Chain A
Amino acid sequence: MKDETKIIEDTMEAIPVPSEKLDSIIENSFKSNAQFRKRTVKKRAGYVLAATLAISILGGTVMLNPAMANMISQLPVIGNVFDYFGSTSKPAYKEFGQLATDVGRTAEDNGVLINIDQGVFDGTTITMAVTVQTTKNYGSTLFFDGWPSVEGESAGNASNSFERVKGLGYAGIMTITPHFEKTPDEVDINWEPKVLLGDKKEVKGDWKLNFSLPLIEPEVLTLNELVEKDGVAIQFKEVRKTPLTFNIYYQQLVDPALLDDLTAVEAELKATDDLGNEYEVPYNGGFTEGGARTREDLQWSATIHNIDPQATKLIFHPFATVSTLEGSKKIYFEDIEVEL
């Protein structure tokens, strides 16, 4: 008699695996999941304010009129959401409060009131200031099952970053970067999250929010510069500037000979200006199109905030990470310069 653990192993090993069926299920699941999108979820530590606010909990979902919603958005605890983050954990947003469009859309269900305070559409990314009013502690940060979508546009990338605010619930900034065929003058946004999830607990609900944001016309500068090394090239396409954002667009091009099944390539940027300031250049996500030569020929957009107004030039320092199951290596490319 073999011991019990050997029996478990033998029993499991004896289960025949229909490998082709499983591969087919995986591949078809991706095809059917057209809404699948690249999402970067940023976590932040909780932030605590001393003030308190009594929150009335109503049953069911309600849509408030703009005046009432605006009153709610200007909470004594937090004031303007962009200003709040701009002066605390996210200085990148300190100018947004003055130039953003007031939205003031609110929906409530199961004791959770979601409010879209303001929004900005810069032609690439939609940035939304959001509060979630609740008396319950769902954890240090929040996530939602169900992302905002832009009517008539295919899903792109999305991210969110929520912080706990005592006396309010949560405040956060969400961004979505759809794949625009042509930049519209206005975007119609629908957001119907089904579940609010935190580190500690979650709640289901029926929240429905829809609103429109006008385009802040960007200034477009074409780049068309290419850097290349060790089988990876980065094609810089263009930058788009608004008073609030600086977006750069680039595509990585990977030699097919470099790729095996599990090779992954990720091109990123850092930047400095001619005054010596350093900037993070976080990407908004990447995507491949049908014409891409390899699955790794991802196109990226990335956004820089708060460029020094005295700077006249940005210098980008591109690098790529090539990962395989054996490890990863960095490739550093030549700098490229962009006149401001």
Chain B
Amino acid sequence: MPKKERLVKKAIKGDQNTLQLLLKEEKDKLYKMAFIHMKNEHDALEVFQQTVLEVIESIHQLRNPAYFSTWVTRICINVSLKEIRNNKKIVTMESYSIPDVIEISGSIEEKMDLTNVLYELDDKYKSVLVLRFFHDFTVKQIADILGCPEGTVKTNLHRGLSLLKTKLKGVYMDERRNENY
């Protein structure tokens, strides 16, 4: 059994210390996933806390240790979306507390666009884009995480990318483009 899976197996069997360490390994990615959905630190921390509690409560139900990362990510996304639904928040651009510095070249306008554009996307596009291009999950893994068919993931990836490009450059992208993800 691969190295990390054995630790996850131990956590599944109830070892709190090991689970704590595994969660600390995942914390950056989980928090960022929460933040990209909630758009402010306070709500992202709440989502993170709820995610941790759900992981502690449910770790015994994880059946394949190899899926620990995808499993905790799914919990984090579900908690985020549930929180958004429950709060029914309408978050205006002014209320974002998104980071104001992204180290890229370009004009001030371009930097602002780039800072906001991912946050502006619909959650269904945001989730798949972040899972694919930040977490490096495969299409199949993303389908498992989001509980949807692989075709839906591919479609949302394609549309999400197209929307990003459209928002950034105002250029219409042909949605029938056949990309190999």
Contact = CB atoms under 8 A, between A and B. Distances in A.
Interface of A: 1-2, 4-5, 7-19, 21-23, 25-27, 29-30, 33, 36-41, 43, 143, 145, 157, 197, 261-262, 264, 266, 285-286, 288, 295-296, 298, 321, 323-328
Interface in B101-134: 101-104, 106, 110, 114-115, 117-119, 129-130, 133-134
A58 to B, nearest CB: 28
A266 B18 CA distance: 12
B43 interface: no
B14 A39 contact: yes
A323 B110 CA distance: 48
Kindly name the residue among B4, B14, B27, B32 whose own CB sees the greatest number of chain A CB atoms within 10 A: B14
B21 interface: yes
B56 A323 contact: no
A325 B6 CA distance: 9
B3 to A, nearest CB: 5
Contact of B102 (A14, A26, A323): A14
A22 B31 CA distance: 8
A18 B6 contact: no
Given A8-B130, A10-B102, A323-B3, 19 more contacts: A2-B114, A4-B164, A7-B118, A11-B115, A12-B118, A17-B31, A22-B45, A27-B20, A29-B53, A30-B20, A33-B56, A37-B14, A38-B15, A40-B14, A285-B14, A325-B3, A325-B7, A326-B3, A328-B3
Contacts of A325: 3-4, 7
A10 B98 CA distance: 13
Given A9-B133, A19-B27, A2 B48 contact: no
Nearest to A5: B133
Contacts of B129: 8
Instruction: State the majority secondary structure of interface residues on A.
Output: mixed
A285 B13 contact: yes
Interface in B13-56: 13-21, 23-24, 27-28, 31-32, 35-36, 41, 45, 48-49, 52-53, 56
Contacts of A286: 14-15
Contacts of B21: 261-262
Interface residues of B, number: 57
Interface stretch (B57-65, B84-92, B145-153): B57-65
Contact of A43 (B35, B52, B63): B63
B60 A15 contact: no
B36 A15 contact: yes
A38 B10 CA distance: 9
B176 interface: no
Contact of B52 (A9, A10, A25): A25
A266 B3 CA distance: 14
A26 B32 contact: no
Nearest to A40: B13
Contacts of B14: 36-40, 157, 285-286
Kindly name the residue among B13, B21, B115 whose own CB sees the greatest number of chain A CB atoms within 10 A: B13
A30 B56 contact: yes
Nearest to B135: A12
